[in-house]
Amino acid sequence: MFNNKKILAVITARGGSKRLPNKNILDLGNKPLIAHTIVEAKKSKYIDKVIVSTDDDKIVEISKKYGAEVPFIRPAELSNDTADSISVLKHSIEFFNNEYDYIVLLQPTSPLRKTEDIDGAIELLNNDIEAVVSVCETEHSPLWANTLPVNKSMKDFIKEEVKNKRSQDLPTYYRLNGAIYVADIKYLYKLNGFIGEKTNAYVMSQKHSVDIDTELDFKLAEIIIESELNNI
């Protein structure tokens, strides 16, 4: 609980993955990818229940082994490539008959996010802040990015106001990192999402913001985990 309000954490994990097959159960640092998220969520001092929403029997087995509840098998209509996270969350909320006040979405593809990050995001909630979304600094300034015309000309690629500026002289930009989404459930339904007038950012380090979508992302996460273990 947080401020006398009950919190449900939902870890969303479909069985299918095109770019990195079976990524949610691939071995990362001696345990399946999804287990990293379950372990950190279970250590939260605020979350009342941790569940996994999945359509995959193997993910069910692994999730239960690491302490998450799997109270249902996700319906087929919420398990295809076009199903959105908000619909999946609403299904979980309604399964428990609106018993909870806050919802926390934790995607297993962010295995380096820590309990401190989860609880830190929750602690930002108050009467004026009804949702929190995690971000990190962009790896490169978007002011140095642009689309390219068919002929690949660089003529207008960089805007005049940032030409010849050093990276340290440019403003700091942030990006969504996909690691933590928290919201008052009524606010979630009102927006049909997380980002609105009463949403604040929780800033995470780039190191803990690795989002695994490709084999390269996975290898980067392996390197970071091995480095952290060697520094214990």
Structural tokens at position 211: 């989002």
Q: What pLDDT is recorded for position 15?
A: 87
% of the chain residues with pLDDT over 70: 100
CB 1 within 8 A of CB 48: yes
Per-residue pLDDT tens over the stretch 182-210? 999 999 999 999 999 999 999 999 999 99
Taking 70 as the pLDDT cut, the residues of the chain under it are: 232
CATH number for domain 7-144+171-230, candidates 3.40.1370.10, 3.40.50.720, 3.40.640.10, 3.90.550.10: 3.90.550.10
Q: What's the predicted TM-score (pTM) here?
A: 0.94
Q: What pLDDT is recorded for position 232?
A: 56
Ordered by start, the domain boundaries in the chain are 7-144+171-230
CB 131 within 8 A of CB 194: yes
> Cα–Cα distance between 104 and 123 in angstroms, integer?
12
Per-residue pLDDT tens over the stretch 101-131? 999 999 999 999 999 999 999 999 999 999 9
